[in-house]
Structures are given as structure tokens and as C-alpha cells.
């Protein structure tokens, strides 16, 4: 008998189905699971043996909401996700794939939204983008040295611009012609036939275009009438794929459109996932409304799942550059100005400040930001005396209105003023209820985006820690009446097999014959702060970005049977060889 390539022995084995875990030995050969056994496996001529006693062995995590589209091209290791146990990533979220549009259009609809510098992304696309159809992109992915496995959505903004051009696709007075609609349908159908998971759309008008041509217009997908979206969804429904969307936060009742599309009353139901269900400080009722919407939709034969981030939603900002300021007129005015001098003149204007203070004082209108500078901590500032304090306390000490203080600091220090606030998921008991709800899809990491804000690269680990703490609390004598939110087997399932099953992708399980995507965890290392942030090099971009580091928690990561990461060290061949990740089509 030929030797196995790797044996992982004595670990607590989670198969990704939610079934009871047990102590098992696992053998890998030729990139596949060759054996799972409670009995010892013959180690003859096996050069790689991992002693996993007291460790957890589980399927590689699936991250179904990333923005790695540009990074994938020049830094395909995607090591920031891999080091945390992610072995499969989904690109093309939020209407922002890079498939059909020309290179400059693809850059301009992506860079401002995802706050990755245009001067970095545009040259990458200009040099490397040789494809303009889904089939051509798949051909590129097959020959590209991927790190993790990759699955993809087709982005509606990308599709619209590829067919209509950037200017027409962002003109409220323009409706696509019948020829253009048929072309969009043809490209979408092609994407579904080559294995794309579905269509991603966007209705949130905060997300704006970069560049000099259509600067500060909302994303092209937001200009589409629902009739257009519904027509495209007919194809998604026909192929049993997924519609990923984002409602307009300022018009919560818009989710009715998604609900009607999803329900299978008079036609086949449409798998639908929306971003995002959160327990917002600024809109405490919202999580109840979103829960009700999902209940009603699924009761009426829908297949509807909110994306839920299993951790506090903390936002970092440089000066006034933060996306939730787009939700009110004064903030939008400032963010629309590229020129620093013009922006500072606006911020000093008393009429402008009056408008800003008026919005800040409103309490009843829908909002994401809680409008509380007392809940925002200054991280960095040339004036060291205010670092570590919140804006309200500093304003009180200076006896001025907190809005005036904030705007004064932005004028004086610009982006050298760095601060953060937690806008949602701050109440753990409500967060737990959202996470354990089976209508929730545990995702929304935004990995690859917002390089000076937080992308939640270790989202699966935060999920497991949340559940682990819940289990410990239920077993504690002083809290013995407390009930665990779910078993650890169920938690692993939600990050692996559940996502694979719902999106119809071949991943998320450890069974004989499966692709060997495996994570080995040391559960004793969950005692560290998983929300801690640090800076690290963004490979091949010459930039530093905000990341997570969790030493010792993830011991090994295997992708297609190859060791991608061990003891926090990324394999230097990851993303440089053809032997790691692959493009996985929907099935």
C-alpha cells in the first residue's frame, strides 16, 4: 500500500455536518481525505505526521463575503484570511465583481467603496485584466496560482457598466434598452453556466464611485429599476443560485421587494441573502424588524437569510472620512469634495455647521451611526493630550459644542486625527440571539477591503469563541441556569457545511473523498482578545493595513492537502504555485 502524504492523529474531529465530534485520525493523500478512523493509521513512509491531541480538527472555513477581487490578481495567497483558517473565499460581493467592465470602470466602482487606493488598483487592472466575460475570468482563475479556493458572484454594477458604459449606467434618466437587457441576461447566464454562485446587487446609495469621470455618483446597481433586477433574478432562480443584496438603509421598507422576489408562492423561490442584520446603537428596533422580515418570507416558502457578523461592529476613521457620514446631507457634502482646501472651507462655514449640528441632534430618523461623539474614542492625533479620550469629554473641557470640536480637529489635523466607535452588535445577549437564529448566515467579514478600517479576517474564530464562552457559561456552577447558544459542532457547521450547502459549493466537510481543506485549532488559545487589531504589510501593494493576529490559535491550515500555514507562518509557496487553491464552481 502506498504511503499517505499527511496523517493528523488524535484530534477532536468535526466533520462539518453538525454531527457529534469524536477523537479520530485522518489521512490525506493526493489532496483528498483518504481515511478517517478511530483506530491508529499506518504511518509507514508518511513524512508528515501531526499530533493533534487536545486540538480540534475541522473543515477549512468558508468566507462568503469578501472584496478580494483586485488583491486576488497580484497577491493570490490571500494570506490574511488563510492564516485564520479560511480555505474558501467568495469574491464579487455588493455588486462589485471585476468581470465585464473595462479596467478603469472596474477600478472606479471599487476603490472608493472599499477604500483601497485607486492609484494602486488602477495600474493592476490596466496591466493584468485581459478578460471581459465570465468564461474568460474562469479561464484566468484556473491558470492563476490561487492561495485559498475561490468562488464568485457576478456583480450587478460590473455587469451594468460592462454593457451600458459607466456614464449611462449612472444616469437616472437612462433605462437599458431591450438589446442591453438581453446582453446582460446573456452574460449572467454565461456566468451561471460556468459556476458563478449568483448575482450580487446594491441599493445602498452611500457607496460612491471614484475617479474623475463620474466622481461621487452612487454605484451603478443603485440606478436600476426593480423591474431590471427582477428580470435578472429570473435566471438566478432558474439555475437555483443566490441573490446577494443590500437594501437602502434609509428606506427600510425596501426589503419588501427582496421578500417578494424570494417567496415561492406563484413561482420558484429565490435564494436570497442580504447585508446585514445588526443590533444598531442608532436604531435599536432594526434587528427585530429584520427578524420579522425573514420569518415572514421563509413562512411564505422563501429561502431568505440575513448575513450576521458574530462580533461587535467597530468602525475606524481618519478625520471625516467614514462611510456612515454619507447618510446625512452635511456629511455627504464634505465627502463629495476631493480638494482639501475646499473641504476645509466648507467645514469652517457656520451654515454648514448648523446643518451638521441639526442632524446630530435628531433622534428619530433612521440611522446607522448612533450620533454620539461621546461614544467615539480618539486613537491618534498630533495633540497627544486628547488621545484616548472621547470627543464629548474634550468638547466639555473646552466648553464648545462637540460637533464644532470635531470639525475644528478635522480642519486642523485632517486624516492625522484617527478615531473609532462601535456602531452595532454591542449587546452580547442580542448578538447571541442573532447568531443562533438559523435564518442567519454567519458572514460579512469584508476581507480585502477597508485597509485602514477593520475587515474581520478572523470572523470564524470570533464565532467559535462566542459559542465557546456560551458553553463555558452554561457549565459554570454560578450560571448553571444559562443555556449554551449552540453546541460547538453546530458552530463549526455554521462556518463550514452550512455555507457550502446553502451556496451549493463542494466544500465545508471532512469525509473520505473530500478535498482536504482542514484547520487544526488549539482551543486553549481562545483566551486571547480576538478583537485586537494590528498593522501588517499588504502583499505587493506597498501598504500597511489593519489586521488581526491570534498567536497559537490556528496551528495548521491545509488547502487541497497542502500545508498553507503552520504555527502562524504562511507557506512561502502559497499563491506562487498551482498546488493550493482552485476555482470551485457551484453545482
DSSP string, 267-336: S---EEEEE----BSS-TTHHHHHHHHHHHHHHTT-EEEEEE-SS-EEEEEETTB-GGGGGSHHHHHHHT
Residue at which a domain ends, from 370, 390, 420: 420
**Which of 404, 396, 402 minimizes the C-alpha distance to 349?**
404
Q: Are residues 489 and 429 in the same domain?
A: yes
Percent over 70 (pLDDT), the chain = 98
**Residue at grid coordinates 455618483:** 217
What domain range is 138 assigned to? Answer: 60-313+425-509
Q: Is residue 452 in a domain?
A: yes
Q: Are residues 197 and 232 in the same domain?
A: yes
Q: Are residues 358 and 296 in the same domain?
A: no
What's this model's pTM, rounded to 2 decimal places?
A: 0.96
Question: How many domains does the structure of the chain reveal?
Answer: 2
pLDDT number for residue 1: 56
Model confidence pLDDT, tens digit, residues 511-550: 999 999 999 999 999 999 999 999 999 999 999 999 999 9
**Cα–Cα distance for residue pair 322/371, rounded to 1 Å:** 13
Model confidence pLDDT, tens digit, residues 395-423: 999 999 999 999 999 999 999 999 999 99
Contact yes or no for 62/495 (Cβ under 8 A): yes
CATH number of the structural domain spanning residue 499: 3.20.20.140
Model confidence pLDDT, tens digit, residues 216-248: 999 999 999 999 999 999 999 999 999 999 998
Q: Are residues 292 and 277 in the same domain?
A: yes
Q: Is residue 14 in a domain?
A: no
Residue at which a domain ends, from 476, 509, 542: 509
State which residues of the chain have pLDDT below 50. none
Q: Are residues 221 and 319 in the same domain?
A: no
Can you list the positions of beta strands (E) in 319-443? 377-380, 418-424, 440-442
Distance (Å) of CA 132 to CA 138, 139, 143, 150, 202: 11, 11, 16, 18, 21
Distance (Å) of CA 299 to CA 103, 238, 257, 275, 294: 43, 21, 16, 20, 8
Q: Are residues 109 and 211 in the same domain?
A: yes
Residue at which a domain ends, from 467, 491, 509: 509
pLDDT number for residue 479: 56
Q: Are residues 147 and 262 in the same domain?
A: yes
pLDDT number for residue 480: 58
Q: Are residues 195 and 248 in the same domain?
A: yes
pLDDT number for residue 145: 96
Q: Are residues 274 and 168 in the same domain?
A: yes
Q: Are residues 153 and 248 in the same domain?
A: yes
pLDDT number for residue 367: 80
Q: Are residues 125 and 246 in the same domain?
A: yes
Supply 491's cell numbers. 458552530
Amino acid at each position: 500500500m502506498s504511503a499517505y502524504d499527511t496523517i493528523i492523529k488524535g484530534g477532536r474531529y468535526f466533520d462539518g455536518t453538525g454531527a457529534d465530534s469524536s477523537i479520530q485520525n485522518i489521512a490525506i493523500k493526493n489532496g483528498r481525505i483518504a481515511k478517517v478512523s478511530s483506530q491508529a493509521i499506518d504511518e509507514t513512509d508518511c513524512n508528515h505526521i501531526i499530533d493533534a491531541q487536545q486540538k480540534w480538527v475541522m473543515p477549512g472555513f468558508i468566507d462568503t463575503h469578501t472584496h478580494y477581487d483586485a488583491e486576488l490578481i497580484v497577491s493570490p495567497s490571500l494570506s490574511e484570511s488563510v492564516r485564520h483558517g479560511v480555505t474558501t473565499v467568495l469574491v464579487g460581493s455588493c455588486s462589485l465583481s471585476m468581470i465585464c467592465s473595462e479596467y478603469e470602470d472596474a477600478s472606479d466602482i471599487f476603490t472608493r467603496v472599499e477604500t483601497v487606493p485607486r492609484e494602486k488598483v488602477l495600474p493592476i487592472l490596466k496591466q493584468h485584466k485581459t478578460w471581459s466575460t465570465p468564461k474568460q475570468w474562469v479561464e484566468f482563475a484556473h491558470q492563476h496560482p490561487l492561495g485559498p479556493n475561490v468562488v464568485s458572484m457576478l456583480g450587478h454594477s460590473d455587469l451594468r457598466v460592462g454593457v451600458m458604459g459607466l456614464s449611462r449606467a449612472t444616469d437616472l434618466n437612462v433605462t437599458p434598452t431591450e438589446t442591453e437587457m438581453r446582453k446582460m441576461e446573456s452574460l449572467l447566464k454565461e456566468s451561471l453556466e460556468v459556476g458563478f454562485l449568483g448575482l450580487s446587487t446594491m441599493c445602498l446609495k452611500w457607496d460612491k464611485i471614484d475617479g474623475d469621470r463620474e466622481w461621487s455618483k452612487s454605484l451603478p446597481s443603485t440606478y436600476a429599476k426593480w423591474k431590471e433586477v427582477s428580470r435578472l433574478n429570473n435566471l438566478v432562480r432558474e439555475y437555483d443560485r443566490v441573490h446577494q443584496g443590500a437594501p437602502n438603509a434609509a428606506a427600510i421598507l425596501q426589503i419588501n421587494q427582496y421578500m417578494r422576489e424570494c417567496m415561492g408562492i406563484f413561482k420558484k423561490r429565490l435564494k436570497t441573502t442580504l447585508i446585514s442584520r445588526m443590533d444598531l446603537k442608532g436604531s435599536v428596533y432594526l434587528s427585530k424588524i429584520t427578524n420579522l422580515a425573514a420569518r415572514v418570507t421563509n413562512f411564505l416558502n422563501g429561502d431568505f437569510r440575513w448575513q450576521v457578523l458574530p462580533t461587535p461592529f467597530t468602525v475606524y476613521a481618519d478625520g471625516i472620512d467614514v462611510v456612515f457620514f454619507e447618510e446625512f446631507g452635511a456629511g455627504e457634502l464634505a465627502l463629495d469634495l476631493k480638494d482639501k482646501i475646499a473641504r476645509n472651507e466648507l467645514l469652517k462655514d457656520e451654515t454648514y455647521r448648523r446643518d451638521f449640528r441639526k442632524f446630530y441632534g435628531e433622534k428619530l430618523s433612521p440611522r446607522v451611526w448612533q450620533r454620539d461623539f461621546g461614544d467615539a474614542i480618539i486613537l491618534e492625533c498630533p495633540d497627544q493630550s486628547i488621545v484616548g479620550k472621547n470627543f464629548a469629554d474634550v468638547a466639555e473641557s473646552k466648553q464648545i459644542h462637540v460637533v464644532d470640536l470635531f470639525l475644528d480637529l478635522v480642519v486642523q489635523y485632517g486624516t492625522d486625527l484617527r478615531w473609532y466607535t462601535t456602531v452595532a452588535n454591542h449587546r452580547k445577549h442580542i448578538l447571541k440571539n442573532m447568531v443562533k437564529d438559523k435564518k442567519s448566515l454567519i458572514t460579512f467579514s469584508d476581507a480585502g477591503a477597508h485597509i485602514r478600517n477593520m475587515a474581520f479576517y478572523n470572523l470564524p474564530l470570533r464565532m467559535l469563541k462566542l459559542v465557546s464562552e456560551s458553553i463555558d457559561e452554561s457549565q459554570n456552577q454560578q450560571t448553571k441556569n444559562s443555556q449554551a447558544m449552540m453546541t460547538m459542532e453546530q458552530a463549526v457547521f455554521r462556518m463550514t457545511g452550512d455555507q457550502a450547502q446553502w451556496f451549493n459549493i463542494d466544500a465545508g466537510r471532512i469525509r473520505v473523498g473530500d478535498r482536504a481543506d482542514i484547520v487544526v485549532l488549539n482551543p486553549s488559545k481562545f483566551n486571547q482578545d480576538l478583537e485586537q487589531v494590528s498593522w501588517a504589510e499588504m502583499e505587493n501593494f506597498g501598504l500597511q493595513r489593519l489586521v488581526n493576529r491570534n498567536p497559537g490559535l490556528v496551528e495548521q491550515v491545509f488547502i487541497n492537502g497542502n500545508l498553507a500555514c503552520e504555527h502562524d507562518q504562511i507557506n512561502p509557496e502559497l499563491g506562487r504555485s498551482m498546488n493550493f487553491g482552485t476555482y470551485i464552481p457551484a453545482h
